[in-house]
Amino acid sequence: MTFQRARTDEQRSQRRRQILATAAEMLTEMPVAKLSLNELSRRVGLAKANVLRYFESREAVLLDLLDTEIQDWITELERAQADGQGTTRERGDALADLLATSMAQRPTLCDLLSAQGAVLEHNISTEAGIRHKRAARESLQSLVQLVLRHLPELGSEDAAALVETTLLMAMTAWQCSRPTDAMLAVYASDPELASMRLDFTDLVRRTTAVTATGLLARRQARTDAPPAN
């Protein structure tokens, strides 16, 4: 596909959306590490230099895509209304399952998150970093509010801690739960070794549930503690 030069703000915005959509489609076929600016340019139908008119680098494209993926995920989570039923433990477990299963269904989001610190936040300008961190801050605030709808007992500070722990575990678990072909053969060779294979959903669910339980217990302990003399 060949494009005419974008001349209006709307045309430029449309071109940026097309580049992001193409990058997202490519990530259904390949991991972040294999997505190149040359191949992205070829698929979009623009010269590499023209793609760089809209994004300063490959990493800048991927950071914008990460922000978009997180917003889409939050929109999905917000559709799952908290019913407020059950004990605190039950609601915490339900929230942990919601976060883990919804992330597992979004491999592009998980792949981008796992590459954020080591890849995506390199080769970008300060301005691009500021835009990304501001978008990330807004997303974190939205996630905190979502957690509080499910577990209001946590309070804002502990809800933020739960969100941070869940995201950090997802970043690590995604990498560790994506074995190479060689490791898949290892697991297939011996049932005892197969039991060592990590499951992304289980890791994120369990970590989130245990963290929520611990935060609630510590909060309760502070409430029950006798006042200092």
What's this model's pTM, rounded to 2 decimal places? 0.87
Measure the CA–CA gap between 157 and 160, rounded to whole angstroms: 5
Measure the CA–CA gap between 218 and 223, rounded to whole angstroms: 9
Nearest to 213 by CA among 161, 146, 144, 149: 161
Q: Where are the domains of the chain?
A: 6-55, 59-224
* Long-range contacts, stretch 7-14, CB < 8 angstroms, 24+ apart: 12/54
Instruction: Give the model confidence (pLDDT) of 123-147 as tens digits.
Output: 999 999 999 999 999 999 999 999 9
- The CATH homologous superfamily to which domain 6-55 belongs is Homeodomain-like (1.10.10.60)
Measure the CA–CA gap between 106 and 82, rounded to whole angstroms: 21
Is pLDDT of 1 > 60?
no
Instruction: Give the model confidence (pLDDT) of 75-111 as tens digits.
Output: 999 988 777 788 999 999 999 999 999 999 999 999 9
Q: Around 55, how many Cα atoms within 13 Å sit in the side-chain half-sphere? A: 27
Measure the CA–CA gap between 133 and 138, rounded to whole angstroms: 9
Q: Compute the radius of gyration of the chain from its Cα atoms.
A: 21
Which of 29-43, 153-167, 211-225 shows the lowest mean pLDDT across its residues?
211-225
Give the percent of the chain with pLDDT over 70.
Answer: 95
Measure the CA–CA gap between 64 and 99, rounded to whole angstroms: 22
Assigned architecture for domain 59-224? Orthogonal Bundle (1.10)
